[in-house]
Amino acid sequence: MTLAVTTLANGLRVVTLATPGAETAALGLYADTGSRFEDASINGIAHLFEHMVFKGTATRSARTIAEAIEDVGGQLNAYTARDMTAFHARVLGDDVPLAFELIADLIRAPRFDADDLVREKDVVLSELGEARDTPDDIVFDHLQEAAFPDQPLGRSILGSEESLAAIGPEHLRGWLDAQFRGPSCVFAAAGKVDHDALVRMAEGLLGDLPDGAHPDSARASFAGGTRHDRRKFEQAHLTFGYEAAAHRAPDYYPLTLFATAAGGGMSSRLFQELREERGLAYSVYATLTSYDDTGLFSVYLATANNNAAAASALALQVLGRCAEGLDAAELARAKAQLKAGLLMSLEGAAGWAEYLARQMLIHGAPVPPADVIAKVDAVTVEAARDAAQRMLAGPMARAHVGSIKLQAA
């Protein structure tokens, strides 16, 4: 495999991994922008923008875009996160130029037709309604709001009825001009690709992205607190969380391993004690979500309404005991899970393209997987315990969905 990186004059970075013998390729444009860069008045614009570029460009209708990629058996999709937006494709190697041209067309020549915008807002409003009716989805939005209240990082990616109504074509054009700039974007490709050819395509198709950084997002400030959604559902859905490590923080790997040991699988302490031994929850896990300036460690529980208080109390106890008494065997198991998960994700071109793009956006360089594994292996039991104890000593954010009563934490 051959790894190569080139930075264009406008700051756009092109990173590729050519794989001998591959017949397919994965490629995409990844930008370090998302909902945390939005003003409150137009919350949801990053996600709506992602939808709207597929509605047509200066030369292609929405149908033409769909037919163009599917005529060659390819796939073209996108996603929006709080700190990233991606437009990505999977195609046969010979169709890489077409896929690149389609992705570039979405970003460089979107039409933003006013009638299309009205219809697409209805689609997003349906998506918003579905999320609100799905308790194991909406509870995480509530937790995010509790953790980072009155901040972009605490707001929903989907926005609200009021903020979506305020967005017009001019806002979408302004978002494109402000956020999608050369230095904020990475074009990543893996599989049957030719680096020099992709660089030439990038110069021709994306070389006109403006130079200069996009506006910074507001720095996050973890507050903690509680959000209650007392609608009645068959089960109770609960989350609680703590401020955790940012992407490049020293505690990132210790806390990632702690999250895995505490609640990352069926062998984890939370799963074993709450589900297997006590039967208090049918779903329980812990995760670490990191951003550029902060992170959020969270525990999720789905349980019967009458078990909610006991399950929540026990989960907090288990977490505390794990922070105090994490042992070598648990840490070794967590390391094995993380390393295997990383290497399994890199078995295909799509996994490699995503990995390379994220490494470029977070670290500014394509960090080799062996370096990641070395950092995982270097974490000691003491480091994981210390990082977890410091984290749990901080304020807690909490959210639940269901007509339940919980004891004070």
DSSP bridge pairs for 287: 298
What's the token pair of residue 15? Answer: 């990173």
The closest of 84, 87, 81 to 140, measured between CA atoms, is: 81
The closest of 237, 349, 344, 369 to 298, measured between CA atoms, is: 237
Task: Please report whether residue 219 resides in a domain.
Answer: no
What's the token pair of residue 49? Answer: 């923008």
Q: Helices 169-179 and 45-52 sit at what angle, rounded to 10 degrees?
A: 100
Instruction: Say which of 38, 50, 145, 273 is annotated catalytic.
Output: 50
Task: Please report whether residue 356 resides in a domain.
Answer: yes
Domain shared by 49 and 105, yes or no: yes
Domain shared by 248 and 338, yes or no: yes
Domain shared by 200 and 231, yes or no: no
Q: Which of 206, 239, 259 is the last residue of a domain?
A: 206
pTM exceeds 0.85 for this model: yes
Domain shared by 170 and 306, yes or no: no
Domain shared by 28 and 150, yes or no: yes
Give the span between the Cα atoms of 189 and 33, in whole angstroms. 19
Task: Please report whether residue 65 resides in a domain.
Answer: yes
Give the span between the Cα atoms of 184 and 195, in whole angstroms. 20
Distances (CA, A) of 16 to 131, 193, 199, 314: 36, 7, 10, 47
Q: What is the dihedral of CA 146, 151, 152, 153, to 10 degrees?
A: -40
| Confidence at residue 407, expressed as pLDDT on a 0 to 100 scale | 57
Task: Please report whether residue 218 resides in a domain.
Answer: no
Q: Which of 154, 177, 206 is the last residue of a domain?
A: 206
The closest of 368, 372, 380, 381 to 339, measured between CA atoms, is: 372
Task: Provide the residue-wise pLDDT of the chain in tens; the chain has 409 residues.
Answer: 899 999 999 999 999 999 999 999 999 999 999 999 999 999 999 999 999 999 999 999 999 999 999 999 999 999 999 999 999 999 999 999 999 999 999 999 999 999 999 999 999 999 999 999 999 889 999 999 999 999 999 999 999 999 999 999 999 999 999 999 999 999 999 999 999 999 999 999 999 999 988 888 888 999 999 999 888 888 899 999 999 999 999 999 999 999 999 999 999 999 999 999 999 999 999 999 999 999 999 999 999 988 999 999 999 999 999 999 999 999 999 999 999 999 999 999 999 999 999 999 999 999 999 999 999 999 999 999 999 999 999 999 999 998 776 654 4
Task: Please report whether residue 215 resides in a domain.
Answer: no
Domain shared by 232 and 144, yes or no: no
Tell me the residue range of the domain where 289 lies.
225-401
Phi, psi of 229 (to 5 degrees): -120, 100
Amino acid at 281: A
Domain shared by 262 and 183, yes or no: no
What's the token pair of residue 71? Answer: 């005529």
Count how many residues are written for the chain. Answer: 409
Domain shared by 32 and 84, yes or no: yes
What's the pLDDT tens digit per position in 76-119? 999 999 999 999 999 999 999 999 999 999 999 999 999 999 99
Domain shared by 178 and 290, yes or no: no
Domain shared by 79 and 16, yes or no: yes
* Residue 29 CB neighbour total at 10 angstroms: 26
Contact (Cβ atoms closer than 8 angstroms) between residue 188 and residue 359: no
H-state helical runs in 6-134: 45-52, 62-70, 96-108, 114-132
Q: What is the dihedral of CA 69, 179, 224, 268, to 10 degrees?
A: 30
Active site residue 50: yes
| Class of residue 306 by CB neighbours under 10 A (exposed 0-12, middle 13-18, buried 19+) | exposed
Domain count across the chain? 2
We report the CATH number of the domain holding residue 358 as: 3.30.830.10
Domain shared by 181 and 52, yes or no: yes
Strands 396-401 and 235-244 turn out to be antiparallel
Task: Please report whether residue 104 resides in a domain.
Answer: yes
Give the span between the Cα atoms of 1 and 195, in whole angstroms. 12
| Confidence at residue 214, expressed as pLDDT on a 0 to 100 scale | 85
Task: Please report whether residue 216 resides in a domain.
Answer: no
Task: Please report whether residue 365 resides in a domain.
Answer: yes
